[in-house]
Amino acid sequence: MDRISKKMATSARQGTPFVPRTLALSRPVYRNKSAAFLSECSLPPLSQAATETTQSPPPQEQQQQQHGPSTVRMLPCDTGGAHVSVTMDVYMSAFAGRAFTYWWPRGDLTAMRTWQEQRALNRCRDVRSVQFMAVLDHHGGVADVREEEEEEEEAGGRGVPAHEDVVAYSKWTLPSPSTEVGKRQFDGLRRDLVGVDDSEEISSTLPVQTQDSGIGENLKDNKPKDHPPDIPAGANRAYYNEFFEGMEKISKKWKSDEMLELSLMATRPAYHGHGIAGAMIRPVLEVADRHGVRALLLGLELATPLYRRLGFETVETFSFELAKKEAGEDGVMHVMIREPKGQ
């Protein structure tokens, strides 16, 4: 169990609310020189970012301000997969029990987490995949480089120092380099976001486990390449096929391969309302604007106000038949597209 989950469990046992420490979004700092664009972008102060919510801090949080603010930095995820465990903590806390998880196993989600971790590891081998995380620094600032290195060694494979927690996670998919225009956009985005000009410079020893059986013929022909060999134990196969076939169909209809796609944006529920998601998305969109690249996402109804403020517009909504008729899932998914600014 990670640090935040332990705190939340303790609060639940004691019958007291869990209140995250006051956050201050700071300029991102990262030693990995390949993350070129991080030296150019800055996250807005909390007071500015929090205008996305009109709610005042609860009394408990106001009292905690006397301890001083923590800081949140945006970092690229390790291409070797070192951050997978902590980013999956975020993913599971953000989506478990939420809309469009009707195909997930019921009850124990251990198999689901293991399956998603393998997907994340597979994405690390995909040169079109770019992943970031928001890291909460409990020291209220950036520690000395030597201290950070020592704490990383003691972190036991978490991928972040012991005094930090990952509170948000995003995944972007770059345009396909299969056309001349796509290649130019892919190279430009990859150079500015990751600091790599040639995809051949990406190397990893991680095995890519792709699907090969038991998933339904339609999905098998167009299977997401980051999926493990089989569905999570306990998952509903019919629901799984419906969901991913539907997502694939929509992606092809809107030619997502020709755009920069926000494939995933997850924030721990305890840290909603601090403007972290918007602060993570804006710098990437600024890079897309510089290269004249359109952006696309398939988003939940709840998140559409944020995406509209970032310049996305809904072009279509869709849902799933089995989800409605059998699983009681009546949510609506939005296809949202953003045109590059300044073009």
Question: pLDDT truncated to tens, each residue of the chain (343 aa)?
Answer: 555 556 556 655 665 544 444 444 443 333 333 344 444 444 444 334 443 433 434 443 443 333 345 677 888 888 778 889 889 999 999 998 888 899 999 999 999 999 999 999 998 888 899 998 888 766 544 444 344 444 444 444 455 666 678 889 999 999 999 999 999 999 999 999 887 655 444 433 334 444 433 334 444 444 577 899 999 999 999 999 999 999 999 999 999 999 999 999 999 998 888 889 999 999 999 999 999 999 999 999 989 999 999 999 999 999 999 998 888 887 899 999 999 998 6
- How many CB atoms are located within 10 Å of the residue 154 CB? 9
Report how far residue 138's alpha carbon sits from residue 72's, in angstroms, rounded to the nearest whole number: 9
Q: Does residue 317 sit within a domain?
A: no
Question: For tokens 């992606």, what's the residue?
Answer: 251
Predicted local distance difference test score (pLDDT) of residue 13: 62
Domain presence at residue 315: no
Contact predicate 70/295, CB 8 Å: no
Domain-embedded: residue 313: no
CB neighbourhood size of 268 (10 A): 25
Residues found in the chain: 343
Is 206 part of a structural domain of the chain? Answer: yes
Distance, CA of 290 to CA of 277 (rounded, Å): 21
Maximum Cα–Cα distance across the chain: 60
Element (H, E) at 299: strand 295-300
336 falls within a domain: no
Q: How many domains does the chain fold into?
A: 1
For 40, residues 6+ apart whose C-beta sits below 8 A from its C-beta are: 283
Residue 147 is encoded by which pair of tokens? Answer: 């201290």
Q: Is the dihedral of CA 92, 294, 31, 279 positive or negative?
A: negative
Q: Please report whether residue 320 resides in a domain.
A: no
Instruction: Please tell me the predicted confidence (pLDDT) of residue 28.
Output: 39
Q: Are 23 and 136 a contacting pair, CB within 8 Å?
A: yes
DSSP letter (8 states) at residue 301: G
| Cβ-contact 235, 15 below 8 angstroms | no
Sheet holding 313-318, edge to edge: 23-25, 70-76, 129-137, 164-173, 260-267, 295-300, 333-338, 313-318
Domain of 138 in residue numbering reads as: 3-289
The pTM of the whole model exceeds 0.95:
no
Q: What is the torsional sign of CA 143, 150, 4, 269?
A: positive
Is residue 54 situated within a structural domain?
yes
Q: Is residue 338 situated within a structural domain?
A: no
Q: How many helices (H) and strands (E) does the chain have?
A: 12, 8
pLDDT score of 79: 74
pLDDT given at position 184: 93
CA distances from 136 to 26, 28, 80, 95, 224 (A): 10, 11, 22, 20, 32
